[in-house]
Amino acid sequence: MQEVREVNPDLRIIYLLRDPVERSWSSAISGLARRRGRSLEKVSDKRLLRHFERQAHVLRTDYLRTFEIWEEAFGSEQIFIGFLDEIQQDPRDLLVRIYRFLGVSASEEHIPAGLGRKVNSSREYSTAIPESVRIHLAELYLPQLQELSARFGEPATDWLRRAEGTLARSGAGRA
């Protein structure tokens, strides 16, 4: 990152986070089914679990590590943290805050028409996370979710509550 900073020391970084459990499931659907033109039912549980354990997948979902790398190079004041949840709940507010962060006008003329409209959504692959996979991912990401919640608050705290609820219902959260 130091090389990037040398080229553009005033870079403004926009980092949007998604619930790691949901992100992992979406990644599995995309990588193991959609891109290969097959149904998710044809992907074995073993293959799914291997996908979640792959180093590339683990690194892409390690938000705190990624944030710390960028923060070390640029400082936290040059990084905007947002959440996918905000795009779904109040995209206008998120966009206005990003505009402010970038130092550009947030006037109505810069707010796109149809801002809240869903795009790039596929019903064919919008399958709910099987409970066994949700439990595995909740166990896998629980420590990170605790750190994300402590560092960023909502909506990461909601992600943590959902993972803890999953583990409590499964009995996995009991010592």
62-94 burial, b if ≥16 CB within 10 A, otherwise e?
ebeeebeebbebbeeebbbbbbbbbeeeeeeeb
pLDDT band at 175 (very low <50, low <70, confident <90, very high): very low
Question: What distance lies between CA 136 and its chain's CA centroid?
Answer: 17
Instruction: Please tell me the distance from the alpha carbon of residue 141 to that of residue 58, in angstroms, as a whole number.
Output: 10
Tokens representing 23?
């992100």
Domain map (residue ranges) of the chain: 2-126
Under CATH, which architecture does the 2-126 domain have?
3-Layer(aba) Sandwich (3.40)
Instruction: Please tell me the distance from the alpha carbon of residue 84 to that of residue 91, in angstroms, as a whole number.
Output: 9
Range with the poorest average pLDDT among 44-58, 109-123, 124-138: 109-123
Phi, psi of 17 (to 5 degrees): -105, 150
Instruction: Please tell me the distance from the alpha carbon of residue 58 to that of residue 65, in angstroms, as a whole number.
Output: 11
Q: Where are the alpha helices (DSSP H) in the chain?
A: 2-7, 20-28, 45-53, 55-60, 63-74, 84-89, 91-102, 131-152, 156-170
Question: How much is the pLDDT for 31?
Answer: 84
- What digits encode the pLDDT tens for the residues 156-174? 999 999 999 999 999 875 5
Percent of the chain whose predicted confidence (pLDDT) is above 90: 67
pLDDT(51) > 50:
yes
Enter the DSSP assignment of 19: -
Mean pLDDT of the chain: 89
Percent of the chain whose predicted confidence (pLDDT) is above 70: 91
Q: What is the pTM of this model?
A: 0.86
Tokens representing 55?
């180093």
Instruction: Please tell me the distance from the alpha carbon of residue 81 to that of residue 67, in angstroms, as a whole number.
Output: 9
- What digits encode the pLDDT tens for the residues 3-48? 999 999 999 999 999 999 999 998 988 888 765 667 777 778 888 8
